[in-house]
Amino acid sequence: MAEKILFLTGKLAERQLKRILEAMKPDFSYKINQIGVSVAALMSENIIMRRVKVDETFNKIIIPGKFRGDLKKLSNYFQIPVERGPEDLTSLPDYFGMDNNETQLNESDCLIFAEIVDATTLTVNEILTRAEEYRNDGADVIDIGCMPDTEFSNLEEVIYKLKKSGHKVSIDSANYEELLRGGKCGADYLLSISEKNYDILDSVDSIPVLIPSQPGDLKSLERIIRKTQSTNRDFLADPILDPIHYGFVDSIVRYKKLRSMFPDIKILMGIGNLTELTDCDSVGVNTVLMGLVSELSVSAVLVVQVSNHCKNSIKETDQARKLMYFAKKNQRLPVGIDESLMCLSNRRLLRQTKDEINHFKLNVRDRNFRIMLTDKKINIFNKDVHLKGTDPYDFFSKLDVDNDSSHAFYLGVELARAQIALQLYKNYNQDNELSWGTSLKKDKVDLHKRPKLKSTQEKK
């Protein structure tokens, strides 16, 4: 017999809970009981016990994640298990162990070539280390960036060791001899081959990336494409993406024309000319570029991450290609699917109103500090005080934690997070880190070694 679950909720979350459960199409039956409080955090054991009637057909009760009461007391009262659900309703599918295709973006149809710039200046071990980092961030091919007028004496060793480590390798050079050497020692791809150096392909098995003989010369690219097609050799074609104000729009038109002329060929787009040469956070640029890539069915992108503002370009491009593939496959807009690329803000801003916070404050009976945000203020309160401001310095002298270093440290951390969330229009949830999407470097942190702070303990 299917399980039957009773969901308790407040007035503000009722509609969202209903929508999520309907979309989940769960294998259990359920009922939603809105118990007459504005927000879930205002629920108490007594309110629930007074207002909720449970018949014997229910197998369990799910309480909102922000409820802080005694679950054991409620379980004993109702004689069935009472569980705390997730704090964020959008996590409800995960809570029940159900696949959520909206958040599992694992497929793509575009390769990422990640360039190790100025590889000539690096040791072999430095190149291998960087290649592994790039692969972990999502790169499919490691592109070895050579330098003009600089000898690459250990090119063969670099390619050999990268291949031995399981990497696909491309050589990116304007030097005829370097391309020839790279191809002869096993490079998978050669960047770049034009009419000027096309004869290199007579001596190597590498897949060429074909480019125009002169910048913007689509005719020469068309000629070399048809020539390569006649040999039945695999290749990619790159009309070259130019920087803004240096032919950017015209270069996009070239990609469109190339796709129209050759509906089935593989195209590569180098996106570093836009990300590296534009003073803005790279995540938005990479996302829009991968939308362009998706519409044009571009098979590969060359990613560069040299400038500090582009240090996460590989990760961003990897996530963006998966997002665009999912949207294209499911014939929908790339919105409402995943928030990993929304690093500085959230799609849905969760803020309390002044009335909600005032109502919450009236129901607080202890000295534990709660921190909540309205549209313009940080609110910190307990049963004794209710302070409002925009900066942690607005509060500290009034919190009476001078002799409680642990609690003072905790409040400093939380108020700093709240200030950042307020300034950047991000969501803030006390006791939880802010979400930074792909921009956050995920270091391994042993949470068990962190000191236990007084997040919910009463002040001395």
Q: Given this model, what pLDDT does residue 327 score?
A: 87
What's the pTM value of the predicted model, to 2 decimals? 0.73
Asked if 170 contacts 190 with a C-beta cutoff of 8 angstroms, the reply is yes
* In contact, 4 and 59? CB cutoff 8 Å: yes
Residue 88: is its pLDDT beyond 80? no
At residue 37 the predicted structure's pLDDT band, cuts being 50, 70 and 90, is confident
Ordered strands of the 4-9 beta sheet: 29-34, 4-9, 60-63, 82-84
pLDDT at 2 over 80: no
Domains 4-95 and 111-329 share a fold: no
Of residues 213 and 100, more confidently modeled: 213
Under 8 Å between Cβ of 367 and 383: yes
**Cβ neighbour number for residue 196 with a 10 Å cutoff:** 14
In the structure encoding, which two tokens stand for residue 104, read together? 């599992």
SS3 of the chain: helix, strand, coil, percent, to 5 = 40, 15, 45
Topology of 4-95 in CATH?
A: Rossmann fold (3.40.50)
Boundaries of every domain in the chain: 4-95, 111-329, 354-449
Residue 82 near residue 74 (C-beta atoms within 8 A): yes
Is pLDDT at 309 greater than 80 in this prediction? yes
Query: What is the mean pLDDT of the segment spanning 316-336?
Result: 89
What is the C-alpha separation between 350 and 364, in angstroms, rounded? 21
How high does pLDDT run on average in the chain? 89
* CB count in 10 Å sphere of residue 312: 22
The CATH class, in words, for 111-329 is alpha beta
Please state whether the peptide bond connecting residue 194 to the residue before it is cis, i.e. omega within 30 degrees of 0. no
Q: What is the tens place of the pLDDT at every residue in 213-234?
A: 999 999 999 999 999 999 999 9
- pLDDT category at 1 given cuts 50, 70, 90 is low
Q: Which of 100-114, 165-179, 274-288, 403-417 has the lowest mean pLDDT?
A: 100-114
Q: What is the pLDDT of residue 332?
A: 77
